[in-house]
């Protein structure tokens, strides 16, 4: 048996979790036994185990019965409740994210991995406890379930799931009610002498965290003859088999942890697969000995002889989910290249990993490598792509298979990128594969190189390689990145000592150059990052992708950097651009040249930023602009003296446009940074210092008004170490229910700003919304433009805390384009009782992209 907690011991622990009296739970157990609901058994040694079914009955009795004497009837009534249709949360506790956007696509009903079709409320609750008890499915419960809700005033209950609903993140309730011929419990049935006590008209909510804690105390049978695991289908059963196999290896515990994480990845992939339609499936591409599926994305008006990028997903991922997370199709649309997405079948691997560790799948002209090669041939033939510019990349098992493809078909690929992968032929079986990812295999560069040279008759030249790995990766040990570098350094005849070392977006990058100075190998070590790919989500030219399990938003885009390393980011020819887009860009350029004021405006700390992204010309400009925005350097009264002087000199024609973005820009006349010299002189004379001192002595309210914001309940926190990057940030607070003040209470600040033709809003925030008093109390944070909500988080009947800074990027403001609007930040709280409900918000780095800089900015 798993676990092994007996009934009497279980009731003691359950009382602690629910915050109830142990004596109360013991008496309810006694009623269950005397009433024949469960078989009697001794206390202490020999006590029957606490099965999920037993736990579900006792939990229903404790949650649904207002009094001890009503326990049995409550269990019998509520356990037999029948499922109604899935609907939005009603008055159940919930949190809603973002403004409501009702579209045809948003109306699609969400898909869940946990299926409760045909089960009564008691059966469904027992099944969830069983899933929470099992190691292989616990993370699925944690990722999909929100909590259990029971109404004591009428026989209604719900199991609440977290999902996307009508274009916003929300809680979806799977509701349960009485069958048509069923009667309510006696204490609620006037025909049987029941009297509804107004004091009983309330609900009880059990969060998923506590349900999992309860499930861990239950005992599964050895044979699992009626397991809820079967409700999740063959994929979870396959994961269970993998866990059993891994338990026999020295790294069994680490493998089980990885499997638990992979179930969350799989759940997200299933959700994307139900919605994503950007990829086109291609059939009949060859003999396909590896039995893989082929998907692709080809931009409209693809130029002739365009490059091709082959993208390989990781375990439990799919082609569509990896594309959504990595953003490769977005980059393809921007720069005009085709993307191929091979996809593994569940029948080939229980976790849908590419079989990089199997001899039949890491040799040339065999298995999965040959299938991928046939897909490449089909793409080259169908779309007239450039055979000399074919590249391959992947993460985790896809990263390992990337090394397989580079070694077995080096004449096909001009370059590759290995993300969180392992060297070629580090293993020839599952056991060695586990040892490689969890422990690493050390060989000399020559030994690694010989394995690649033996994989094909190709004499060279060899593909250039980019290697990415997080130094906090516990799934694939980071030493594998160093061994991969050794393998390809030997192939290219390079020394292990890098030619160049630098910092890019705050992370170390190493480069190995060939004799002619060409970059043949690069390596990024993403400090602090766990397993997966590095991302910088957003709509800026250097950003793409979606944060998700194994897609880590760490402020650097591996997708963008890899494409740049391969040389794919040259500007697309005008002839292949969409005509509508080209017209918009031409209009933007005309307005910018006339007004000279299209900017990205920072409304938080009043930094003067670079020109609009449409005027930038290269990845370095994008990177430096991002880094400058993150620096958070304080400026007196929010004035960038250097920037003002630079802008003036540019307007006079004395400096080339764009020179003001950096103090050390070589484009200044004769290489002399005139604005920098003037600014430095002012600083040396004490002028700027004096301004800074006067600024520091000003009251926060005066600073807030000086910076252009007006309102109440908000303040500007100066030099606060809790700020996102240090410096200053905005803080707002609203409360209701305290000091006799009931009802809605809101605090807001606003400022005016003129928008350009394609405006976007981004900011970072931390929220503390405490509305866990009852089902009708609420706390919210909203961002409004001219009174219309563009971003929102609302907690109803529960607490929502963001302990880490969350970046909200690329909020589309196009419907307000070319207007002077009012931007408002609002915190609000509403309580219907004399219990405090509050909303707190910390906001930093408020950026309006493509705005017109007004005097107040």
pLDDT tens digit string along 73-86? 999 999 999 987 44
- What is the rounded distance in angstroms from the CA atom of residue 792 to the CA atom of residue 337? 37
pLDDT band, very low/low/confident/very high, at 531 (cuts 50, 70, 90): very high
Does residue 318 sit in the same domain as residue 170? no
Domain containing 782 — which CATH number? Answer: 2.60.120
Distance of CA 294 to the CA centre of its chain: 26
Q: Which of 160, 195, 217 is the last residue of a domain?
A: 217
* Pair 339, 562: CB distance under 8 Å: no
- What is the rounded distance in angstroms from the CA atom of residue 386 to the CA atom of residue 1? 60
Q: What are phi and psi of 573, to 5 degrees?
A: -60, 145
The one catalytic residue in 326, 371, 396, 778 is 396
**Non-local CB neighbours of 690 within 8 Å, separated by 6+ positions:** none
Please provide the DSSP assignment of 550-571 as one string.
Answer: TEEESS--HHHHHHHHHT--SP
Return the beta strands (E) in 327-426 as ranges: 338-343, 390-395, 415-419
Q: Residue 850 — left, alpha, or beta (φ > 0 → left; ψ -120 to 50 → alpha)?
A: left
* Pair 733, 838: CB distance under 8 Å: yes
Does residue 264 sit in the same domain as residue 205? no
**Non-local CB neighbours of 714 within 8 Å, separated by 6+ positions:** 704, 730, 731, 732, 733, 747, 748, 749, 825, 827
The pLDDT of residue 681 is above 90: no
Q: Rounded to the nearest 10 degrees, what angle do helices 208-215 and 121-133 cross at?
A: 70
* Pair 277, 356: CB distance under 8 Å: no
Does residue 437 sit in the same domain as residue 365? yes
pLDDT tens digit string along 814-850?
889 889 999 999 999 998 777 889 999 999 988 888 7
Mean pLDDT, all residues of the chain: 78
Does residue 457 sit in the same domain as residue 386? yes
Is residue 752 in a domain? yes
Q: What is the pLDDT of residue 659?
A: 47
The pLDDT of residue 126 is above 80: yes
Please confirm, yes or no, whether 712 is among the known catalytic residues.
no
- What is the rounded distance in angstroms from the CA atom of residue 257 to the CA atom of residue 135? 9
Is residue 631 in a domain? no
Q: What is the pLDDT of residue 322?
A: 95
Cα 468 to Cα 12, 173, 242, distances in angstroms? 50, 41, 27
* Pair 309, 564: CB distance under 8 Å: no
H helices of 492-612, where?
Answer: 558-566, 579-595
Is residue 663 in a domain? no
Which carries the bigger pLDDT value, residue 142 or residue 222? 142
For the chain, how many structural domains are there in total? 3
H helices of 733-818, where?
Answer: none
pLDDT band, very low/low/confident/very high, at 91 (cuts 50, 70, 90): low
Peptide bond into 298 cis (omega under 30): no
pLDDT tens digit string along 142-172?
878 888 988 887 788 888 887 665 556 666 7
Count Cα atoms within 13 angstroms, Cβ side, for 248.
6
Identify which of 473, 493, 464, 469 has the alpha carbon closest to the alpha carbon of residue 483: 469
pLDDT band, very low/low/confident/very high, at 617 (cuts 50, 70, 90): very low
3-state secondary structure (DSSP) of residue 530 = coil
Is residue 57 in a domain? yes
Rounded mean pLDDT, 576-596:
37
Does residue 537 sit in the same domain as residue 432? yes
Rounded mean pLDDT, 336-359:
92
Q: Residue 3 — left, alpha, or beta (φ > 0 → left; ψ -120 to 50 → alpha)?
A: left
Token pair in block for residue 590: 């005309």
Token pair in block for residue 344: 């593994």
* Pair 559, 466: CB distance under 8 Å: no
Beta pairing class for 500-504 and 464-470: unpaired
Is residue 229 in a domain? no
Q: How many CB atoms lie within 10 A of CB 620?
A: 11
Q: What is the pLDDT of residue 188?
A: 76
Q: Which residues pair with 731 in a beta bridge?
A: 715, 842
Count Cα atoms within 13 angstroms, Cβ side, for 689.
7
Is residue 838 in a domain? yes
pLDDT tens digit string along 294-311?
999 999 889 999 999 999
pLDDT tens digit string along 258-281?
766 777 787 788 878 877 678 999
pLDDT tens digit string along 452-461?
999 999 998 9
- What is the rounded distance in angstroms from the CA atom of residue 197 to the CA atom of residue 296? 63
Q: What are phi and psi of 835, to 5 degrees?
A: -125, 135
Token pair in block for residue 842: 């910390």
Q: Which of 547, 566, 585 is the last residue of a domain?
A: 566
**Non-local CB neighbours of 579 within 8 Å, separated by 6+ positions:** none
pLDDT tens digit string along 488-522?
999 999 999 999 999 999 999 999 999 989 999 99
Q: Which of 527, 549, 566 is the last residue of a domain?
A: 566
Is residue 677 in a domain? no
| Lowest-confidence region among 69-83, 183-197, 226-240, 713-727 | 226-240
Does residue 189 sit in the same domain as residue 314? no
**Non-local CB neighbours of 518 within 8 Å, separated by 6+ positions:** 464
Q: Which residues pair with 843 in a beta bridge?
A: 730, 765
| Lowest-confidence region among 367-371, 498-502, 799-803 | 799-803
Is residue 104 in a domain? yes
The pLDDT of residue 90 is above 50: no
Identify which of 664, 576, 549 has the alpha carbon closest to the alpha carbon of residue 260: 549
The angle at the Cα of 81, spanning 78 to 82, to the nearest 5 degrees, equals 165
Q: How many CB atoms lie within 10 A of CB 633?
A: 12
Token pair in block for residue 208: 């998923």
Does residue 194 sit in the same domain as residue 259? no
Residue with tokens 């030249």: 461
pLDDT tens digit string along 686-695?
444 444 443 4
* Pair 37, 72: CB distance under 8 Å: yes
Domain span holding position 459: 255-566
Does residue 205 sit in the same domain as residue 283? no
Rounded mean pLDDT, 229-250:
52
**Non-local CB neighbours of 146 within 8 Å, separated by 6+ positions:** 94, 160, 161, 162, 171, 207, 208
- What is the rounded distance in angstroms from the CA atom of residue 626 to the CA atom of residue 847? 12
Q: What are phi and psi of 746, to 5 degrees?
A: -130, 145
Q: What is the pLDDT of residue 461?
A: 94
Does residue 355 sit in the same domain as residue 469? yes
Does residue 469 sit in the same domain as residue 537? yes
The angle at the Cα of 774, spanning 768 to 776, to the nearest 5 degrees, equals 90
The pLDDT of residue 416 is above 80: yes
Rounded mean pLDDT, 637-665:
51
Does residue 818 sit in the same domain as residue 720? yes
Does residue 76 sit in the same domain as residue 208? yes
Length of the chain in residues, anyone? 857
Domain containing 487 — which CATH number? Answer: 3.40.50.1820
Overall pTM > 0.85:
no
Cα 787 to Cα 413, 808, 824, distances in angstroms? 53, 19, 8
Q: What is the pLDDT of residue 723?
A: 77
- What is the rounded distance in angstroms from the CA atom of residue 619 to the CA atom of residue 563? 11
- What is the rounded distance in angstroms from the CA atom of residue 829 to the CA atom of residue 772? 12
Long-range contacts of 153-158 (CB under 8 A, 24+ apart): 153/188, 153/196, 153/200, 153/201, 153/202, 153/203, 154/184, 154/188, 155/77, 155/78, 155/81, 155/184, 155/185, 155/188, 156/81, 157/64, 157/78, 157/81, 157/121, 158/92
């Amino acid at each position: 048996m798993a676990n092994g907690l007996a009934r009497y011991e279980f009731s003691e622990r359950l009382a602690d979790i629910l915050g109830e009296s142990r004596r109360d739970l013991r008496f309810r157990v006694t009623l269950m036994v005397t009433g024949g609901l469960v078989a009697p058994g001794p206390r202490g040694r020999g006590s029957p185990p606490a099965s999920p079914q037993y736990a579900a009955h006792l939990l229903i009795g404790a949650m649904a019965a207002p009094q001890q004497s009503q326990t049995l009837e409550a269990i019998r009534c509520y356990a037999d409740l029948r499922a109604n249709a899935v609907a939005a949360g009603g008055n159940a506790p919930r949190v809603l994210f973002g403004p409501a956007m009702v579209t045809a696509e948003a109306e699609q009903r969400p898909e869940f991995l946990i299926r409760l079709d045909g089960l009564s409320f008691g059966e469904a609750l027992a099944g969830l406890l069983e899933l929470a008890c099992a190691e292989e499915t616990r993370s699925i419960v944690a990722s999909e379930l929100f909590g259990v809700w029971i109404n004591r005033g009428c026989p209604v209950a719900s199991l609440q799931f977290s999902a996307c609903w009508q274009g916003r993140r929300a809680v979806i309730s799977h509701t349960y009610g009485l069958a048509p011929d069923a009667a309510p419990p006696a204490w609620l049935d006037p025909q049987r002498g029941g009297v509804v006590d107004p004091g009983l008209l309330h609900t009880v909510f059990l969060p998923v965290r506590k349900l999992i804690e309860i499930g861990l105390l239950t005992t599964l049978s050895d044979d699992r003859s009626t397991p809820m695991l079967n409700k999740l289908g063959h994929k979870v059963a396959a994961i269970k088999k993998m866990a059993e196999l891994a338990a026999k290896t020295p790294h069994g515990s680490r493998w089980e942890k990885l499997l638990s994480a992979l179930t969350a990845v799989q759940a997200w992939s299933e959700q994307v697969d139900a919605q994503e339609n950007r990829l086109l499936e291609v059939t009949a591409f060859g003999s396909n000995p590896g039995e893989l599926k082929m998907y692709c994305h080809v931009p409209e008006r693809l130029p002739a002889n365009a490059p091709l990028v082959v993208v390989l997903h990781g375990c439990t991922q799919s082609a569509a989910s990896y594309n959504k997370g990595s953003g490769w199709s977005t980059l393809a649309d921007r720069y005009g290249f085709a993307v191929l997405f091979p996809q593994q079948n569940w029948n080939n691997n229980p976790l849908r990993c590419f079989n990089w560790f199997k001899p039949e799948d890491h040799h040339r002209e065999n298995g999965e490598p040959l299938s991928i090669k046939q897909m490449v041939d089909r793409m080259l033939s169908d779309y007239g792509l450039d055979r000399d510019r074919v590249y391959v990349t992947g993460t985790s098992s896809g990263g390992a298979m990337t090394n397989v493809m580079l070694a077995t078909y080096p004449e096909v690929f001009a370059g590759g990128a290995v993300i969180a992968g392992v060297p070629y032929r580090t293993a020839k079986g599952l056991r060695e594969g586990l040892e490689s990812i969890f422990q690493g295999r050390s060989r000399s560069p020559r030994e690694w190189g010989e394995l690649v040279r033996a994989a094909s008759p190709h004499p060279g030249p060899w593909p250039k390689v980019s290697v990415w790995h997080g130094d906090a990766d516990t799934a694939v040990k980071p030493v594998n990145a160093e061994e991969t570098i050794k393998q390809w350094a030997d192939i290219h005849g390079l020394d292990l000592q890098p030619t160049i070392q630098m910092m890019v977006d705050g992370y170390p990058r190493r480069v190995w150059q060939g004799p002619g100075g060409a970059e043949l190998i690069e390596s990024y070590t993403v400090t602090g990052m766990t397993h997966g790919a590095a991302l910088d989500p957003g709509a800026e030219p250097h950003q793409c992708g979606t944060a998700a399990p194994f897609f880590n938003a760490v402020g650097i885009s591996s997708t963008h950097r890899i494409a740049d390393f391969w040389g794919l980011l040259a500007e697309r020819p005008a002839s292949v651009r969409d005509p509508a887009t080209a017209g918009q860009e031409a209009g933007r350029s005309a307005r910018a040249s006339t007004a000279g004021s299209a900017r990205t405006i920072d409304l938080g700390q009043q930094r003067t930023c670079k020109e609009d992204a449409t005027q930038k010309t290269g990845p370095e400009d994008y990177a430096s602009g991002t880094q400058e925005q993150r620096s958070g350097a304080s400026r007196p009264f929010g004035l960038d003296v250097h920037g003002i002087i630079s802008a003036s000199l540019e307007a006079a024609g004395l400096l080339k446009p764009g020179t003001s973005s950096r103090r050390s820009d070589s484009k200044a006349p004769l290489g002399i940074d005139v604005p920098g010299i003037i600014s430095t002189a002012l600083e040396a004379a004490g002028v700027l210092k004096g301004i800074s001192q006067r600024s520091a002595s000003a009251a926060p309210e005066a600073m807030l008004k000086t910076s252009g914001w007006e309102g109440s309940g908000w303040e500007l926190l100066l030099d606060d170490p809790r700020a996102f990057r240090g410096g200053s940030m905005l803080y707002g607070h609203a409360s209701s229910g305290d000091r006799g003040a009931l009802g809605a209470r809101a605090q807001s600040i606003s400022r005016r700003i003129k928008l350009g033709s394609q405006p976007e809003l981004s900011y970072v925030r931390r929220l503390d919304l405490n509305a866990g008093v009852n089902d009708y109390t609420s706390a919210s944070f909203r961002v409004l433009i001219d009174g219309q909500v563009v971003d929102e988080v609302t907690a109803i009947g529960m607490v929502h805390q963001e302990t880490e800074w969350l970046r909200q990027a690329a909020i589309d403001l196009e419907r307000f384009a070319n207007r002077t609007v009012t931007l408002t930040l609002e915190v609000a709280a509403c309580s219907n009782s004399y219990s405090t409900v509050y909303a707190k918000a910390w906001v930093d780095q408020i950026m309006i992209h493509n705005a017109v800089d007004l005097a107040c900015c």
